[in-house]
């Protein structure tokens, strides 16, 4: 019995040390992605005439494949009022996405379509125009990020980018940004001044 207890104690200590190390590694990794989102928000807020080309150059400079393993890309979702939809569609088509549409169609007061994502490969191109408020799990995270001006992760989702037949669990982290920067105090002020979200999608197993 004493031998069993001694062995158990050693195993228990090793197990705790291993799990604490994993937790620390995950927290550090997530911290680097959150810093990435915050720097992206600062870039967007400080850029005049923000457009697809400027966003691409910014993301290219980050060397995502080398420095951020498991990250599918960096995207930008814009808050669009009903009277702004046609203007936005025309703008994105002029920037090279000739088949751009906001989907799925619904009767929301605002749309929140993804208008930019980099790298713009075949899989990421699928999400252009997708309104993330249309899906309940994504919407809960978006609303929390918007209302409390904080980075927020979704629960488990299947990314739009996934191939048919090879779908795996994924998640996204959102960060809202506002007119005139992050200076709003109340939830109502943040909702009224929301410009959009910068976000990162992840494949969980790769992360």
Mean pLDDT of all residues in 195-206: 91
**How much is the pLDDT for 165?**
66
CA dist 118 to 30, 73, 83, 199, Å? Answer: 19, 5, 27, 11
**What is the band of 128 on the pLDDT scale with cuts at 50, 70, 90?**
very high
Structure tokens at 120: 């713009």
Structure tokens at 2: 């004493």
DSSP letter at 163 equals P
Tokens 């993330």 correspond to what residue? 132
Separation of alpha carbons 135 and 207, rounded Å: 23
Separation of alpha carbons 195 and 176, rounded Å: 8
User: With pLDDT > 70 as the criterion, what percentage of the chain qualifies?
Assistant: 97
Q: What are 61-106's pLDDT values in tens digits?
A: 998 888 887 789 999 999 999 889 999 999 999 998 999 999 987 7
DSSP letter at 103 equals B
Q: Which residue in 142, 127, 78, 131 sits closest to 105, CA to CA? A: 131
Separation of alpha carbons 8 and 14, rounded Å: 10
């Amino acid at each position: 019995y004493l031998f069993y207890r001694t062995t158990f104690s050693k195993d228990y200590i090793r197990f705790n040390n291993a799990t604490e190390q994993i937790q620390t590694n995950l927290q550090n990794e997530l911290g680097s992605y959150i810093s990435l989102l915050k720097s992206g928000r600062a870039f967007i807020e400080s850029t005049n005439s923000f457009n697809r080309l400027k966003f691409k150059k910014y993301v290219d400079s980050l060397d995502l494949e080398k420095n951020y393993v498991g990250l599918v890309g960096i995207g930008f979702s814009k808050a669009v009022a009903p009277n702004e939809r046609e203007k936005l569609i025309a703008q994105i088509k002029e920037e090279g996405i000739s088949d751009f549409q906001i989907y799925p169609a619904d009767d929301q007061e605002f749309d929140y379509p993804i208008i930019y994502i980099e790298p713009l490969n075949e899989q990421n191109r699928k999400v252009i125009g997708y309104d993330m408020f249309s899906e309940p799990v994504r919407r809960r995270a978006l609303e929390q990020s918007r209302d409390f001006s904080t980075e927020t992760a979704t629960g488990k989702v299947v990314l739009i980018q996934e191939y048919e037949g090879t779908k795996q669990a994924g998640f996204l982290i959102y960060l809202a940004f506002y007119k005139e920067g992050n200076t709003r105090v109340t939830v109502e002020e943040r909702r009224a001044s929301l410009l959009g979200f910068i976000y990162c999608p992840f494949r969980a197993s790769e992360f």
